[in-house]
Amino acid sequence: MKHSLSALGYLIWKDLLLEFRSKEFIVSVLIFSLLTIIIFSQSINLTTMNPNEIGPAILWVSIAFSASIGIPKIYSKEKEENTLESLLITPISRDLIFFSKLISIFILLIITEIIIFSLSIILFNIQLLNPIIIIISLITTFGYSTVGALFGAMMIRTRSSEFLLPILFLPIIIPLLIFAIGSTEIALQLNDWGKCLPWIGLGITYNLIFFPISIFFFEKIIID
């Protein structure tokens, strides 16, 4: 158990170290989502529309699209440098590789979300610094990371993975996207835990379904 935790820590450290040296994930996710948010903020007349209604949709859709561009970058080193086989030879559980990818994607998405949220507060004048919204974003990001860690692994074995991932990833996360947009909208307008709880239940249920499914299929995908 102690060895597994230490190995998991090193796997995450390796992913984050490679990311902070290449900055491929952060740069692609950040640029794409910032551009989307800026374009929407300039093309929508915020004086006639309620930013609490339109803001969450723009925010979460831009994060979902940019995550689908960024997630393949987490696997691109293993793919380009063909290092997955050297991981599979080591005596670690294959689940650890999945957990490390999930946690690495989660950490990187949270970092980018902090920047995207800050910009959204300025551009849309919406109050995102709210404990309910923080819980919503943690649940949503966990879901994105779980599905992303699974589908990202599929991309190692395929060509044109950067085009294919969004096609597979986005339809699967639609329920999560509906949860994130709906619950953020309620949290912004009503700031009421009671009204948000059924939505939060939906988000947690999504994660409870997809987390074990992803663990189950991950090993089958990464081994020929």
Q: How far is the CB of 118 from other proteins (least distance, A)?
A: 29
Specify whether the CB–CB gap between 184 and 136 falls below 8 A.
yes
Q: Is 220 in the site for other proteins (CB under 8 A)?
A: no
Q: Is 85 in the site for other proteins (CB under 8 A)?
A: yes
Stretch that binds other proteins, among 11-19, 114-122, 147-155, 179-187 (CB under 8 A): 11-19
Query: Using only C-alpha atoms, what is the Rg of the chain?
Result: 18
Q: Is 158 in the site for other proteins (CB under 8 A)?
A: no
Stretch that binds other proteins, among 18-26, 38-46, 49-57, 118-126 (CB under 8 A): 18-26
For the CA atoms of 149, 107, 100, 8, the dihedral, rounded to the nearest 10 degrees, stands at -170
Helix, strand, coil % in the chain, rounded to nearest 5: 85, 0, 15
Size of the site for other proteins (CB under 8 A): 26
The secondary structure of 49-108, three-state, reads: CCHHHHHHHHHHHHHHHHHHHHHHHHHHHHHHCCCHHHHHHCCCCHHHHHHHHHHHHHHH
Stretch that binds other proteins, among 10-18, 58-66, 184-192, 195-203 (CB under 8 A): 10-18
Smaller CB distance to other proteins: residue 44 or 88? 88
The CA distances from residue 19 to 22, 29, 85, 158, 175, in Å, are 5, 12, 20, 22, 29
Specify whether the CB–CB gap between 24 and 72 falls below 8 A.
no
Smaller CB distance to other proteins: residue 100 or 140? 100
Q: Is 189 in the site for other proteins (CB under 8 A)?
A: no
Q: How far is the CB of 142 from other proteins (least distance, A)?
A: 25
Q: How far is the CB of 144 from other proteins (least distance, A)?
A: 25
For the segment 88-117, give every residue that binds other proteins (CB under 8 A): 88-93
The site for other proteins (CB under 8 A) is made up of 3, 6-7, 9-11, 13-14, 17-18, 21-22, 77, 81-83, 85-93, 224
